[in-house]
Structure formats: structure tokens, C-alpha cells
């Protein structure tokens, strides 16, 4: 069963929490009220990951809460109010029941911060047919391809977009020879597949590949083990595919040859970083820190963006009608800012939000992709990820805006 972490009712009159109970959803919903659900599910880290990062209890949700406040700031001039209903699903919990709970409250928009398998399963539920599900976390290219759905939009960038963003920068730096190291999990192999695809697109060469299969405690053996493991044919940069952080953080400064590390660790492609300040981002960072008492994470920013998609559509279309909003969000007229240097728009062929990607080290933003020189006849943002002729999505319209 799911457990309700928090039910947020942030309205024009007050941005505090109000518990809704006892009344039918139809009776609760007022004219001009737009209800947004937030469904989160965080998997347990694998047992073999030493010292795993513990996300904040409200990671992702805090971004959505700030976006509700932002939506209400604009909405009050249009007689619109926004309500956020949040449900947390345990790792082994029933996400379908959580979605039904949100739909029963009258939420036609549901932000899903969960693994790809959960997102796909939810999008196929009969109860989801009239909803708009906004994927705020899963990078799976398959969700944008063969497993796409007309009721599913992707706020989080895909693995292909992240890999292309990184690959463009490495080629621009004239580091075209890559050593690819892949972890043991299926997600790592998917990330590695995206890197291989990128290498072909940007003219790079993967000169060596190795799979990490060590069973020893890398925290204790890294200094002796990694120099031996990383002996390889001459290369410019080591690209690591280790999404859960089993070993990737131990590669930097320990490789046999002095080379930079990039990918899931080292120089990382991401939607957000705590040091990002350009294009008005400093103002968003400070507002978030004041509200959440911590820096904004990439997961927070995805949650913020997903909720702001609905708010921006309501402001531009000047309506609170869910059907009209869903149509507007998926139309060529929809655009919004996310403090990353270019407006965000939707790819109609796979439901992916076009967006710039930051390239960040531990304490600094190094660059932003797409890189100069990577041109596209429609928009340079479409140089990141699967373009229209490449898509495997068969259930969405292919018309280009």
C-alpha cells in the first residue's frame, strides 16, 4: 500500500497545508482551481554501494512546492489557484493505487518522480487515460521511444540527451578518444548505450571499453585496484556509466594515466547545479534555499519545471479547464523559461521537453550544451537526444511545430 507523505493545498489565500477530507473531489474543486498530483517513489540503493547519498526527505517535492507558489503568484491576477496533492510510494509499494488516489481527488495533471518501469506502468493504466503524466525523473530512452504514450510527457532529459550534451563538449575540447567504463546494473548498460550512440553522432571514437565487476570493497581497495583496472589504449577522457554511484567516484585521480573523468561522475551532464547562476538562476536558487533550507537539486528542478509547465500553460491560455490546458501544453504555442538560457518547448514526436543541459563538476558549472557549432535546421536543442526521423514512438503525432 502507499503511504501519504504530505498533502499540500497551497492556495491564493495561504500557501500553507490544508487537509482535504470527506468531500467528493468534484465538490472540492472550485472554478479556476487547478489540481496537480505529485507521486514519488525512491528505490532503495543496492547493498553493494558504499556510503550511498541520502536524498533529502523532500527531494523533488520541494521544487514542486515552490512552483505551486510561483503558479499562484501569477494565477491570482487571472483568478486561478493551484493545489498540490502529494503521495509517496515505498520502494515496494503500489504506485497504481497512489495514482488512483490522486485521480480520485480530481488531479488531471500528475507529476511522477519514479523509476522508468513505474512511469511506464502508470501511463498504461485505464485511470490514466484522461490524465497528463509528467515524467520528472526517469531518463529511459525507451519511454520516449517504443514505450511512449500520448498521455505521457517528459520533463527530465533522456539518457541520449545527457550523453549528447557531454559528447558535444568533449569533441569541442578536442577530446575525441574515449575509454568507456560500465557498471553492472541494467541502467548502467543503458547509459553506456547512449554514450556509444553519441560517439557516432559527434565523430568521437570509443578506443577501449571495460565492465566493472569487482566484488571487493572499492572504498578500501581503490588506490591499488583502479590504476590496474584503468590501464588501456591511449585515450583522452574516461567516461563512466555508474548511475547509482557504486564505483565511479573512485576513478578520478586514480587512473593509470592522468586523464579527466566524465559521465555519471566527474564532469556530469545535468539539468541543475547548486552553483548555477546565469539567466536569472541565482534568484531561483535563493528563493528555493529560503523555502527549503537547502540548495536546489536536479530532482528539485525537474519537479519545479513539471509543475511550472502547468502554471505557464494556464497563464498563457488563460484557462483552468484541464482539457484545454492539456491541448495547449502539447501545441506549438507552448513555451516556458527554466533559467538555462533558452526557452523550453515540447517535441511532438515523443513528448520530450527540449532543454539545455548543464555540464557540471562538483563545485562549478563548466559549460552548457548544446555547444556552438552543433547546428540543427529546426533548433539547436534538437541536436540533443533523438530527433524526429530517429524516433521509435508510434503513438504520438509526428507533425513538427
Q: Over 239-291, what HEC string results?
A: EEECCCCCCHHHCCCCCCCCCCEEECCCEEEECCCCCCCHHHHHHHHHHHHHH
Residues 108 and 167 in one domain: no
**What's the structural domain count of the chain?**
2
Residues 142 and 181 in one domain: no
Residues 62 and 129 in one domain: yes
Residues 139 and 14 in one domain: yes
Within-domain flag for 220:
yes
Among residues 268, 286, 320, which one ends one of the domains? 268
Residues 263 and 282 in one domain: no
Q: Residue 215's closest CA among 50, 53, 48, 45? A: 48
Within-domain flag for 108:
yes
Among residues 246, 268, 290, which one ends one of the domains? 268
Q: Which residues of the chain have pLDDT under 50?
A: 1-28, 400-401
pLDDT value for 27:
39
Within-domain flag for 116:
yes
Residues 9 and 74 in one domain: yes
Q: Which residues are registered as beta bridge partners of 36?
A: 84, 109
C-beta atoms surrounding 19 within 10 Å: 7
Q: List pLDDT tens digits, range 333-365.
A: 999 999 999 999 999 999 999 999 999 999 999
Residues 95 and 231 in one domain: no
Element (H, E) at 4: strand 3-8
Within-domain flag for 76:
yes
Q: List pLDDT tens digits, range 270-290.
A: 999 999 999 999 999 999 999
Within-domain flag for 348:
yes
- Enter the DSSP assignment of 102: H
pLDDT value for 350:
97
Residues 105 and 167 in one domain: no
Within-domain flag for 260:
yes
Residues 345 and 227 in one domain: no
Residues 6+ apart with CB under 8 A from 286: none
Give the CATH number for residue 233.
3.40.50.2300
- Domain assignment of residue 50, given as a range: 3-157+273-358
pLDDT value for 306:
99
Within-domain flag for 394:
no
Give the predicted TM-score (pTM) of the model. Answer: 0.91
Residues 215 and 80 in one domain: no
pLDDT value for 12:
30
Residues 148 and 22 in one domain: yes
Residues 206 and 317 in one domain: no
3-state percent helix, strand, coil for the chain, nearest multiple of 5: 35, 20, 45
pLDDT value for 47:
78
Within-domain flag for 130:
yes
Among residues 268, 294, 317, which one ends one of the domains? 268
Amino acid at each position: 500500500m502507499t503511504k501519504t507523505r504530505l498533502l499540500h493545498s497551497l492556495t491564493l489565500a495561504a500557501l500553507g497545508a490544508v487537509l482535504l477530507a470527506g468531500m467528493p473531489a468534484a465538490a472540492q474543486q472550485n472554478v479556476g482551481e487547478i489540481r496537480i498530483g505529485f507521486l514519488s517513489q525512491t528505490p532503495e540503493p543496492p547493498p553493494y554501494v558504499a556510503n550511498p547519498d541520502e536524498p533529502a526527505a523532500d527531494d523533488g517535492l520541494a521544487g514542486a512546492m515552490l512552483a505551486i507558489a510561483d503558479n499562484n503568484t501569477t494565477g491570482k491576477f487571472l483568478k486561478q489557484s493551484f493545489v498540490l496533492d502529494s503521495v509517496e510510494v515505498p520502494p515496494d509499494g503500489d504506485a497504481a493505487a497512489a495514482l488512483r488516489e490522486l485521480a480520485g481527488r480530481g488531479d488531471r495533471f500528475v507529476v511522477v518522480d519514479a523509476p522508468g518501469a513505474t512511469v511506464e506502468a502508470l501511463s498504461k493504466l485505464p485511470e490514466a487515460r484522461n490524465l497528463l503524466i509528467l515524467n520528472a525523473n526517469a531518463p529511459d530512452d525507451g519511454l520516449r521511444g517504443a514505450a511512449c504514450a500520448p498521455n505521457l510527457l517528459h520533463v527530465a532529459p533522456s539518457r541520449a540527451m545527457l550523453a549528447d550534451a557531454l559528447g558535444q563538449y568533449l569533441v569541442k575540447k578536442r577530446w575525441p578518444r574515449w575509454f568507456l567504463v560500465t557498471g553492472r546494473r541494467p541502467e548502467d548498460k543503458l547509459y553506456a548505450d547512449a554514450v556509444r550512440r553519441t560517439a557516432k553522432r559527434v565523430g568521437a571514437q570509443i578506443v577501449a571499453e571495460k565492465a566493472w565487476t569487482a566484488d571487493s570493497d572499492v572504498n578500501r581497495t581503490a588506490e591499488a585496484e583502479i590504476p590496474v583496472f584503468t590501464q588501456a589504449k591511449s585515450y583522452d577522457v574516461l567516461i563512466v556509466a555508474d548511475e547509482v554511484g557504486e564505483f565511479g567516484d573512485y576513478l578520478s585521480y586514480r587512473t593509470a594515466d592522468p586523464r579527466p573523468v566524465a559521465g555519471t561522475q566527474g564532469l556530469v551532464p545535468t539539468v541543475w547545479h547548486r552553483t548555477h547562476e546565469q539567466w536569472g538562476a541565482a534568484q531561483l536558487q535563493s528563493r528555493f534555499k529560503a523555502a527549503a533550507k537547502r540548495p536546489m537539486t536536479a530532482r528539485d528542478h525537474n519537479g519545479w519545471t513539471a509543475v511550472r509547465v502547468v502554471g505557464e500553460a494556464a497563464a498563457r491560455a488563460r484557462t483552468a479547464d484541464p482539457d484545454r490546458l492539456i491541448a495547449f501544453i502539447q501545441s506549438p504555442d507552448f513555451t516556458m523559461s527554466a533559467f538555462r538560457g533558452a526557452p523550453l518547448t515540447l517535441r511532438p514526436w515523443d513528448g520530450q521537453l527540449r532543454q539545455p543541459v548543464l555540464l557540471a563538476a562538483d563545485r562549478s558549472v563548466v559549460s552548457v550544451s548544446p555547444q556552438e557549432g552543433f547546428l540543427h535546421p529546426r533548433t539547436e536543442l534538437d541536436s540533443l537526444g533523438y530527433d524526429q526521423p530517429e524516433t521509435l514512438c508510434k503513438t504520438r503525432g509526428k507533425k513538427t511545430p
